[in-house]
Structure 1
């Protein structure tokens, strides 16, 4: 079975590793980025510029590497795509963490407009705290 257009759009983001040319094309500038409490720099961010500056800009200095590996994609009839996967992280101190996540994306007019994230924040916090 082939991907729905919405699933294909979301899959493209993960397959690209969030490449800037892909994010510029498929993420809405007014994206709402909702990160679960307990996760580093959790909160709700408004706009892709804020996500880059205020979320990733504050979080990434704590890591040597951090990536999201998507494993399964599920779409509904309400323009949502659910993604199950794992974050793979190595902290600046060399601690490794594999953290389960689920992302709920909302698609509107061919753009990603909302992310709700839930993740096993405890595992990541343990790695950060050595």
Structure 2
């Protein structure tokens, strides 16, 4: 059985490690980026420019490294993909943490239009607190 086209699209984003050329091709510029409260910089961001500057721009200084490791992709209906995985993080102070996540992506017209993230925020907040 072949993989659902939306799963292939979402998988491409993770496997590229969010490469700028892949983002330009498959992420809608008006993407809604909904990050669970309690997660560092949690909130709702509208548009890739805001995600890039307001979310990632203020998140990156907190971490020496922060990456997502996707473990499972599930097609959910015609326009959603659920990704189960974990973040592997090393804070700027050197503390390490692994925090599980669930990402729910909405796909419309061959573009990623929304991310809704839920994650074990407490683990990352403890690592950041030292």
TM-score range, shorter chain: over 0.9
TM-score by length of 1: 0.98
Matches within 5 A, 1:9-28: 9-28=9-28
SS of 1:73's equivalent in the other structure is strand
TM-score by length of 2: 0.98
User: What do residues 63-112 of structure 1 show as CA deviations (whole Å, max 9, x unaligned)?
Assistant: 00010010000002230000000001000110001010000000000000
Separation (CA, whole Å) in 2 of partners of 1:39 and 1:27? 22
Divergent runs of 4+, >2 A: none
SS of 2:33's equivalent in the other structure is strand
Q: How many residues align?
A: 130
2:126 alignment counterpart? 126
The answer for unaligned runs of 5 or more in structure 1 is none
Separation (CA, whole Å) in 2 of partners of 1:89 and 1:2? 33
Matches within 5 A, 1:52-67: 52-67=52-67
Separation (CA, whole Å) in 2 of partners of 1:41 and 1:76? 27
The answer for unaligned runs of 5 or more in structure 2 is none
State the Cα distance separating 1:31 from its structure 2 match.
0.1
Matches within 5 A, 1:1-130: 1-130=1-130
State the Cα distance separating 1:50 from its structure 2 match.
0.2
